[in-house]
Each structure stands twice: as C-alpha cells, then as structure tokens.
C-alpha cells in the first residue's frame, strides 16, 4: 500500500495543465463556464479543444494503442478528469465519450462499430448523448417504454427520452430501447441524431438553460447493424458502463476548488481569519472531500488491477455526495449571493450539483446496492 503518484503521472498532469493554459481562451471563466455544457458556445469549443487534446496525446491515454490511446493505466484517465473538472470541464459532453461510451464500445462493439466510432471519440470531434431516462423510467430503467420493433434489417423506434443533456447538438445517441415484453428485454442502439423522426425540445430547469431536453422518436429507422451487443444484453452492458460513470466525476476535486474560491471571497470580505466557526466548517469539508478522494482512488486502483466492478464504486459516490451536499449548504450559509449574481463560478458549482444525487442512478439505489452487494444484508 502506498499513495504516491509516479513520475510519469506527475508529468502527465503537468502536460494537461500546460495544455489547459494554452488552449483555454482568456475569458473562459467569465464567458464560457457559466454557460451550459450543452450550449452552442461550449459544444463548439469542446470540438476544438478535445481535438487539440487528442493531437497532444492527452485525451485518451488509457485506451489501447490500436484505438488512439497509449495503453496507460486508468490513473491517467482520472488525472485528466480531475484537471478538466477543476478547469470547468472544457471537454463538455465529451467527458462521457472518454469515461464510458468509448470504453463500452471497445468492449462490446463489433469491428465495424469500433471502426466507425472509436476514431471520432479518440480524435475529440464527436458529440454523444445518453438516451436512458424516460418520463416514468429514471433510475428504474427496466420500466422504460421506448420500443424498437424489428422490420427487416432495421428497427423502428417509437417513444421518448428525457433529461437528455447534449441532445440538441449531439451527433449520436447511446439509446436504450425495449425489444421485447420482459422487464429485461432491453437493447442498445447507436442512433445518428440526424435520423428522420427524431425531434428535441429543451425545457427550463434549476441547472442551466439548455441543459435539459426531451427527445422524441417517431418511426425512427435504425439499422440492426447499429445495435450494440445482442438483443436483451443492455443490462450487462449498462452495468459495465455505469460502473465507470459512478466514479467518473471527481467531485472531491471540484468541491475543493469551489471551497478554495469561497474561502478566497470570505477572506476578501474580512469574514474568514477572525471567525473560527467558518474555518471549522471549511476544515470539515476538506476532510469529507478527502474521504471521497480515497474511495474514488480505491475504485480506480481496482480497475487498474482488472478487478470486476464491485460496490465500492457505489460507496464512493455516496461518500462524495455527502460532501457535495455539505458544500452546497456551506455556500448557502456563508455566500448566499453566489446564487444571486455574486460569483458565477460558485453558482455554476452549486447549480450543476443540484441533481448530483439523481444522475447515474439515484443515491438510494447506490445505498441499496452497497447494502446487499457490499454488506450482504438480507432482502426485505
């Protein structure tokens, strides 16, 4: 057991930071970060930015060399994630590509699918959206109703998806569809978003304008060759994909960055050095975020060793969410005007985390999974 980064990892982090310094525009914090990741401004920038990262060999170092990577351990992927999130995530939607869409295609895709998709993801030029949740089927994905009926060498898709961030600008959708009557008769289709019959409607929310979308599918014809895996294999594939996603966002890193910024403000306003209560609260937050960091790193270490996903990924998310909730509360207690035009980056931190307990499977489901898978507690 040891807790040090290798020299190569330190150098990789340095190169990522250098790339951020060189590639982010001077008004990044003020003009870009406050926009939704799904805004035209951020999406357009992400295509340019990710392509530049790819050119420097920084976007997918943990992927196989044959597919645009450098065969590095997953630690590199997490270093990249930490630095990108700390900078306001200039990869935009493409963080998903690198986190789980690409790795899932590499594991389950046909040779043709890999040839078609992986180069675009590794090159940083393609935008994906995730077509999982539906009105009436969020965490309980088995309740989804969007149907794909076989018609020769095509599926015909009808239904709708909701909360689909990036849908307005995505090139492709990683779409879950029902292909049979049973709860687990669910399959995955890789669907070009310009296919006739797809329409996208944005709706307002607490997160950011343009963030939330509903996607409607009306007689959308998708070639059978676009199915990922076998019919009915979606559960195995999604379980694999979400195991990556649960530790995909380094919430400890973004939380500590937000906390540093908050302290800077409190200090500037003369509300820090003489106030042991606020310093005490901030100290507790650091400890909470560091606890989340340890469990995230534990999961990465398990991945690097090739161990199958286990409930530690769920536990890591639970611990991180507790810290995030405390951080949001800290902001509301000490810098409430950050939600009223006081600081756009802190507002961004707060608003982006409003749904943190819901996305990727609700916190309650994570708790259930650890209770049974990690602690072996009996079913009710």
Partner 1 sequence: MDFHLSEDQQALVDAVQAILRDHADLPQAERLSYAWHDPALQALLAENGFLDAARSMGPLEAALVAFETARSLRSIEAMGSGLVAPMALPDRVVEGPVALAAERDLGRAIRNLTVARTLLVDCGEDSIVLPVDPGAVEQVASILGYPYGRFARAPDPASGQRIAGGGALLRQWWRTGIATEIAGAARAAIDFTIDHVTQRKVFGRAVGSFQAVQHRLVQRHGHARSTYYLAMRAAWSGRAGDADIAACHALLGIQPLLFDLHQFNGGMGVTTEHSLHFWTYRIRALQAEAGGLAGAALDIADRRWPAVEGANG
Least Cβ distance, residue 262 to partner 1 (angstroms): 10
Contact flag: residue 86 with partner 1 (CB under 8 A): no
By rule CB under 8 A, what count of residues binds partner 1?
Answer: 54
DSSP line for 29-92:
IIIITTS-TTSHHHHHHHHHHHHHHHHTT-S-TTS-GGGT-----HHHHHHHHHHHHHTT-TTT
Contact flag: residue 291 with partner 1 (CB under 8 A): yes
Nearer to partner 1, 24 or 286 (CB): 286
In degrees and rounded to multiples of 5, residue 288 shows phi and psi of -65, -45
Nearer to partner 1, 137 or 319 (CB): 319
Which residues are within 8 A (CB) of 195 and not within 5 positions of it... i.e. 6 or more apart?
Answer: 220, 221, 222
Nearer to partner 1, 56 or 267 (CB): 267
Residue 351, token pair as written in the block:
């608003």
Say whether 246 sits in a helix, a strand or coil: coil
- Alpha-carbon distance of 192 to 218, in angstroms, equals 14
Nearer to partner 1, 152 or 378 (CB): 378
What is the H or E stretch that residue 329 is in?
helix 312-334
Q: Are the C-beta atoms of 213 and 202 separated by less than 8 Å?
A: yes
- Give residue 279's region: left, alpha or beta (phi > 0; psi -120 to 50): alpha
Least Cβ distance, residue 140 to partner 1 (angstroms): 15
Span from 90-98, 175-183, 234-242, 280-288 in contact with partner 1 (CB under 8 A): 280-288
Contact flag: residue 10 with partner 1 (CB under 8 A): no
Contact flag: residue 288 with partner 1 (CB under 8 A): yes
Contact flag: residue 147 with partner 1 (CB under 8 A): no
Span from 186-194, 195-203, 225-233, 362-370 in contact with partner 1 (CB under 8 A): 362-370
The one-character DSSP state at 242 is: H
- Alpha-carbon distance of 258 to 256, in angstroms, equals 5
- Alpha-carbon distance of 132 to 128, in angstroms, equals 13
Contact flag: residue 308 with partner 1 (CB under 8 A): no
The closest of 367, 365, 330 to 349, measured between CA atoms, is: 330
Least Cβ distance, residue 290 to partner 1 (angstroms): 5
Nearer to partner 1, 111 or 375 (CB): 375
Binder of partner 1 out of 98, 237, 292, 328 (CB under 8 A): 292
Binder of partner 1 out of 40, 44, 149, 273 (CB under 8 A): 273
Contact flag: residue 171 with partner 1 (CB under 8 A): no
Contact flag: residue 374 with partner 1 (CB under 8 A): yes
Binder of partner 1 out of 3, 152, 306, 340 (CB under 8 A): 3
Residue 349, token pair as written in the block:
């931190």
Least Cβ distance, residue 267 to partner 1 (angstroms): 6
Contact flag: residue 284 with partner 1 (CB under 8 A): yes
Cα-based angle 28, 360, 19 (whole degrees, multiple of 5) = 30
Residues at the interface with partner 1 (CB under 8 A): 1-5, 75, 260, 263, 267, 270-276, 279-284, 286-288, 290-292, 294-295, 297-298, 300-302, 305, 312, 315, 318-319, 322, 364, 367-368, 370-372, 374-380
């Amino acid at each position: 057991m040891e807790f040090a980064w290798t020299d190569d990892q330190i150098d990789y982090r340095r190169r990522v930071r250098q790339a951020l310094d060189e590639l982010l525009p001077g008004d990044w914090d003020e003009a870009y970060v406050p926009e939704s990741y799904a805004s035209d401004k951020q999406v357009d920038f992400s295509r340019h930015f990710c392509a530049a990262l790819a050119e420097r060999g920084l976007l997918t170092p943990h992927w196989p060399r044959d597919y645009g990577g450098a065969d590095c351990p997953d630690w590199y992927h997490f270093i990249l994630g930490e630095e990108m999130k700390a900078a306001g995530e200039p990869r935009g939607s493409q963080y998903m590509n690198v986190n789980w869409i690409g790795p899932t295609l590499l594991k389950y895709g046909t040779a043709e699918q890999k040839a078609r998709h992986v180069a675009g993801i590794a090159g940083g030029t393609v935008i994906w959206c995730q077509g999982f949740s539906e009105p009436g089927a969020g965490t309980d994905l088995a309740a989804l109703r969007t149907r794909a009926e076989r018609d020769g060498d095509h599926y015909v898709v009808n239904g709708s998806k909701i909360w689909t961030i990036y849908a307005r600008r995505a090139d492709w959708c990683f779409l879950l569809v029902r292909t049979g009557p049973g709860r687990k008769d669910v399959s995955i289709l890789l669907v070009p978003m310009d296919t006739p019959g797809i329409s996208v409607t944005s709706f307002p929310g607490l997160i950011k304008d343009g963030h939330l979308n509903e996607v409607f599918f009306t007689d959308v014809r998708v070639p059978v060759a676009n199915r990922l895996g076998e019919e009915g294999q979606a559960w195995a594939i999604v379980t694999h994909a979400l195991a990556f996603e649960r530790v995909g966002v380094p919430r400890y890193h973004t939380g500590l960055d937000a906390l540093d910024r908050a302290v800077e403000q409190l200090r500037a306003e003369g509300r820090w050095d003489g106030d042991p209560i606020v310093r005490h609260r901030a100290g507790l937050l650091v400890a909470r975020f560091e606890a989340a960091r340890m469990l995230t790193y534990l999961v990465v270490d398990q991945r690097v060793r090739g161990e199958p996903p286990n409930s530690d990924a769920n536990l890591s998310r639970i611990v991180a969410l507790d810290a995030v909730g405390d951080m949001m509360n800290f902001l509301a207690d000490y810098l409430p005007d950050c939600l009223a035009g006081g600081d756009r980056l802190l507002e961004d931190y707060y608003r982006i985390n409003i749904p943190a307990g819901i996305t990727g499977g609700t916190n309650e489901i994570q708790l259930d999974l650890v209770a049974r898978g990690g602690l072996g507690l009996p079913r009710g």
